[in-house]
Structure 1
Amino acid sequence: MNKKTFLSALLAIGLFATHALAQAPAVELPGFAAYADPAEENVEISYNKGVVNWTGNGNTVNFYFHAATAGSLKVVLLAKADADSKVSVSVNGIEKIVSIPNSNEYTNIPVLQTNIKKPGFYCVVLKGVEKKGNVYADVKAVALSGTATKEIQFNPKPWRRAASVHLNYPVPEGKNVEWFYGEIKVPEGEDKLGTYFMSCGFHRGYFGMQVNSPVERRIIFSVWDAGGEPEERSKVKYEDQVVMLAKGDSVDASGFGGEGTGGHSHWVYNWKAGETYRFLMHSVPAGNTTTYTAYFYVPEHREWKLIASFRAPKDGKYMGHLYSFLENFSFENGHLGRKGYFGNHWIKTNSGEWIELTKAKFSNDATAKAKDRLDFGGGAENGWFYLWNSGFKPANAQYGDLFERPATGTPPVIELPKF
C-alpha cells in the first residue's frame, strides 16, 4: 500500500468512526413509566401493558426524558386501538396529529422529527383527539432515535415514584442523644398527595407528617422490629417485635410490614401548608431494649401531644443516625414537584446539654443512585434546610454534599404534659 492509499484508508476509517459515534442507538420510553395529567383518570398506566383503557381526553399522557446531547430527534409511537382513532403528539414545541389503526398488534407509527437545540428535560405529550371505538390508543412505548438520543436518560422501570432525599445530621462524638427536636414547614402548593415529610428519623424509626388523600393528613411515628424481616410481621419472632407501651388519644397503632416490619402509629390531623410544625423524640435505654416516644406539638391547643411509645428489642442504645427525609410514595403523581423545609433541629444529651444541629449531609435513595430519576436536590436557605424532588428539573445537590444553616443559639422550650 502506498502512502496516498494508506492516508485515504485512515481518513475513511476516521469518518466511519465519527459517523458511528454520532448515530446513537434508538431507545424506547416504556408505557408503564408514563404519567397522566391532571390525574390518572379515564386512563390506566399498567405495569404489564403500558398505557391502556384510555377512554377520556380530559387529560394528557406524558413521557419524560433528559437529553444530554443536542441533535436530531425522531419520534415513533408503538400503539394500537380497537377502532380507528387520532392522537395529538407534541414535543419540543412541535405538534402532530397521527392516526392509530384498528389492530390487535402494536404498530410502529412515525410521528415527527425535531431538533433538540440544548440539553435538558423534555416531554412527549399525547392527547386524545378522536376515536371510533372505546379507547384512543393503547401505547406500549414511545421510540426515539437520532443524534439527540446519545446518553439520553429516562426511567426504564415501572417504579414511578420520585427519588427520596435525606438530610443526615452529624452529632458530636461521645454525645448520647436522649432527646431529638425538629421542625417542618411545607410551602403552599408543595404538599402534593402521596408525600411524607419526615422530621426526626433515627436508627430504629422515623417521625413526621404525611399527605394521605385529598381529605386526610397524618402525623406518623414508626419503629422497626429487630431481625431484619423484609415483608411479613407474622414471621417475626416475638422477642424481635417492637411492643407498644402507650399511645395518645385518637392515635391508631398497629404492626406494619412491606418495608421491613415494626410498630406503626398515626394521628389523623389536618396540618396546613405554610405553617411550622414541631416534633420531639425521646429515647430511654434499659438493658438490651430502648423505649422510643414521640410527641407532636398541636398549635391549636398550644401543647404537646403524645403520639406513641414503643419498646424496641435488641437495642439498648440512645438515638443514632439522626436524619430527615422527603418521600413521594404514590406512583400516579411521581412527576409533580415537592419541597419541604426542615430546621431548628436540636438534641439534648442524657446529661442535659442542648446541642444545635446546624450541619446536614445530603443523601438519596436507590432510584437516584441508579439514575432512574435525576430531578432532586436540597440545600440551605432563609435559615432552613430544604429538600425537593420531582418536577423534572436539574438536580442541585449530589450525594454527600454538606449544607449548613446559621445557628439560632436558642434551644426549644419543652413543657410536656404530666400524667
Structure 2
Amino acid sequence: MNLRLCIAASLWACLHPGAANAQHLWWDRGGQEDATCLYGEVTVLATSPHIYYCGANWHPGEPAGGYCGIQHNSRRERRTIFSIWDTSPTLHPRVTEADPATVHNRFGGEGEGGHTHMIWPWKEGETFRFFVRKEAGPEPGTIAARYYVFDPNRDGWRHSATIVSPTGGKASVGTIGGGLNSFLENFAGRDKEIPKLAIYRLWLGPDPAHLKCLTKARGDGTWGRLRDGFFLAEGAPARLDELYRSLEPRYGKAVVAAKGKGKDVGPISDRPLPAGLVRELDHLPRAAAVGGQPAPAR
C-alpha cells in the first residue's frame, strides 16, 4: 500500500475516534495522571488486509499525542507503527534514534507530526508486545518517547525509534494518558463482512516497577471480553458468531457487549507483570542516533 495512504489512514483513525469503520476500547486509567510508561499486548486472532490494530492511542487530539500498534497493509505486507503529533504548529517532533529497519518521516493532512514504522511480519495467534517510555529529552524543554517491540525471532527487545518533542509548556507532552484508547480500524472501508478480532491488554505506570494492569474499559462497535482480555472485532454477525465458537475450545467463551457506546462487560483480572519482564523493561537497548547528533529543539 502507498505509504502516504497508510499514514493518512492511521492518523484519520486517531483523530476521528467516532469513525464508522473503527471499534474502540476506552481504558480506565485507575486515577493515573502522570504515567510515563506503557506496556501492551495485542493478539490478533482473525484478520484481513487494510486493518490497523492500534495497541494504544494516548492524549488523542492533544499536543504531542501519540499512538502505536500493528497494521495489516496488504496480503504481502504487515508493519508496526509509532507516531507522535506536533506539540503546536511551530513545535515539531523529530526522530533522534531508530533501528536500521525503521522508516521515519513527517505526516500531514489530518494534523501533522512525526511518523515511524518497521515492516513487521506479525502472525495471527502470536502476541505482539510493545513498550513506550517517556523521559526528559536531550535538551531542556523536550521529552523523549521511546518505542520498543519484542522480536520473537531474536528473543529480545528492539528499539524501533525515539521521537523527541518540545514541551511548549503543555502537560500532555510528558505523560501517557488523556483519553487513552485502543482500536481496530478498517481504514479502507472494504470487506467489512470478513471477521477480524484482536485481544488487547495494557499496563500503565510511572516506571517499569510500578506498571499496573488496566482492568476496566468501555467500548463501542463490537467488543467484549475474551481469555481475560478485552477484544475488538469487525465482521458480519453470523460470521463472528462462527468465529467465537471456533475460538472457544482454546480461548473460552466470548462475552460480547450489548450494542451502544459505553456498555459494560465487567473487569478483567489484575495481572502483575513477571519480575523478569520488569527487569527487561528497565534495561532496554538503545538504537543508534539518526544522522549523528540530534538537532537542537525548536
TM-score normalized by the length of structure 2: 0.71
For 2:233, the equivalent position in structure 1 comes to 388
Aligned to 2:194, the other structure's residue is in SS state coil
Q: After TM superposition, list the pairs within 5 Å mapping 1:6-155 onto structure 2.
A: none
1:329 to 168, 187, 191: 187
1:348 to 202, 205, 214: 205
Gaps of 5+ in 1: 1-160, 228-235, 364-375
For 1:281, the equivalent position in structure 2 comes to 132
In the TM superposition, what is the alpha-carbon distance from 1:317 to its structure 2 partner?
Answer: 2.5
For 1:224, the equivalent position in structure 2 comes to 85
Change (3 A) 1:406 1:350: closer
- 2:168 is equivalent to residue 311 of structure 1: no
Change (3 A) 1:397 1:283: farther
In the TM superposition, what is the alpha-carbon distance from 1:402 to its structure 2 partner?
Answer: 3.4
The root-mean-square deviation of aligned C-alpha atoms, in Å, is 2.4
For 1:264, the equivalent position in structure 2 comes to 115
In the TM superposition, what is the alpha-carbon distance from 1:350 to its structure 2 partner?
Answer: 4.7
For 1:413, the equivalent position in structure 2 comes to 278
**Which of these two proteins has the greater Rg computed from alpha carbons?**
1
Question: Quick one: distance in 1 between partners of 2:32 and 2:123?
Answer: 38
Question: Quick one: distance in 2 between partners of 1:414 and 1:397?
Answer: 41
For 1:297, the equivalent position in structure 2 comes to 150
- 2:217 is equivalent to residue 360 of structure 1: yes
For 2:35, the equivalent position in structure 1 comes to 177
Instruction: Name the amino acid aligned to 2:49.
Output: L
Instruction: Report 1 or 2 for greater relative contact order, CA contacts < 8 Å, sequence distance ≥ 6.
Output: 2
Aligned to 2:182, the other structure's residue is in SS state strand
For 2:56, the equivalent position in structure 1 comes to 200
In the TM superposition, what is the alpha-carbon distance from 1:282 to its structure 2 partner?
Answer: 0.6
In the TM superposition, what is the alpha-carbon distance from 1:175 to its structure 2 partner?
Answer: 4.7
- 2:95 is equivalent to residue 244 of structure 1: yes
8 A contact 1:162–1:390 mirrored in 2: no
Question: Quick one: distance in 1 between partners of 2:81 and 2:181?
Answer: 15
- What do the CA deviations read for 1:53-99 (whole angstroms, capped 9, x no partner)? xxxxxxxxxxxxxxxxxxxxxxxxxxxxxxxxxxxxxxxxxxxxxxx
Report the number of matched residues. 234
TM-score normalized by the length of structure 1: 0.52
8 A contact 2:208–2:278 mirrored in 1: no
Instruction: Name the amino acid aligned to 1:357.
Output: L
Aligned to 2:270, the other structure's residue is in SS state coil
Higher helix proportion: 2
In the TM superposition, what is the alpha-carbon distance from 1:338 to its structure 2 partner?
Answer: 1.7
8 A contact 2:39–2:129 mirrored in 1: yes
Moved over 6 A (4+): none
In the TM superposition, what is the alpha-carbon distance from 1:351 to its structure 2 partner?
Answer: 9.1
Change (3 A) 1:252 1:174: closer
For 2:247, the equivalent position in structure 1 comes to none
- 2:177 is equivalent to residue 320 of structure 1: yes
In the TM superposition, what is the alpha-carbon distance from 1:399 to its structure 2 partner?
Answer: 1.0
Change (3 A) 1:339 1:252: same
8 A contact 2:21–2:187 mirrored in 1: no
- What do the CA deviations read for 1:221-273 (whole angstroms, capped 9, x no partner)? 1111133xxxxxxxx43xx2111111112110000122321111110011111
8 A contact 1:303–1:417 mirrored in 2: no
8 A contact 1:181–1:200 mirrored in 2: no
Aligned to 1:260, the other structure's residue is in SS state coil
In the TM superposition, what is the alpha-carbon distance from 1:389 to its structure 2 partner?
Answer: 2.2
In the TM superposition, what is the alpha-carbon distance from 1:205 to its structure 2 partner?
Answer: 0.8
8 A contact 1:219–1:267 mirrored in 2: yes
Question: Quick one: distance in 1 between partners of 2:208 and 2:55?
Answer: 24
- What do the CA deviations read for 1:292-344 (whole angstroms, capped 9, x no partner)? 1110000110111111111123344311132211111113334433211112x
8 A contact 2:50–2:71 mirrored in 1: yes
8 A contact 2:50–2:72 mirrored in 1: yes
- 2:23 is equivalent to residue 165 of structure 1: yes
Question: Quick one: distance in 2 between partners of 1:323 and 1:205?
Answer: 11
In the TM superposition, what is the alpha-carbon distance from 1:171 to its structure 2 partner?
Answer: 1.8
